[in-house]
Amino acid sequence: MQTDSSCLFCRIAAREIPADIVRESDRLVAFRDTNPQASTHILLIPKEHVRSIADIEDRHGDLLADIAQAAAQLAAAEGIEESGWRLVTNVGPDAGQSVFHLHFHLLGGRQMGWPPG
């Protein structure tokens, strides 16, 4: 599995940098965002270093399905499965991607507008 020792999220996944980790499996880690935009704001990442969802390849298999299932389970654990939640990933500067390791924001616990500003 490819990792990047200079990548912040690879280092969180390796537990070299502390984070409030709420879930871990053989290929995923989920931890709370340090700059929460909602009462639930969890980041889900693959342990493998992937720059963004634009770099998902066939070899990643059911990685995205695993992330979707983990997000739904975390939403239930957070008590927001009925009130609603959002799963979003940013790609590139116009979308506001600031960490170049694939991550999904799980957001919930407040009313959210659409479309995003």
Separation of CA 31 from chain center: 8
Q: Which stretch binds ligand DGP (CB under 6 A): 48-56, 64-72, 78-86, 91-99?
A: 91-99
- Two structure tokens written together for 79: 């008590």
Quick check: 1 and 46 in contact, CB under 8 A? Answer: no
Short-list 92, 117, 109, CA closest to 41: 109
By CB under 6 A, the residues from 8 to 37 that bind ligand DGP are 8, 19, 31, 33-35
State the catalytic residues.
103
Is 71 a binding residue for ligand DGP by CB under 6 A? The answer is: no
Query: Out of 56, 63, 72, 99, which residue is the one contacting ligand DGP (CB under 6 A)?
Result: 99
- Two structure tokens written together for 91: 């790609």
Binding site for ligand DGP (CB under 6 A): 8, 19, 31, 33-35, 43, 90, 96-99
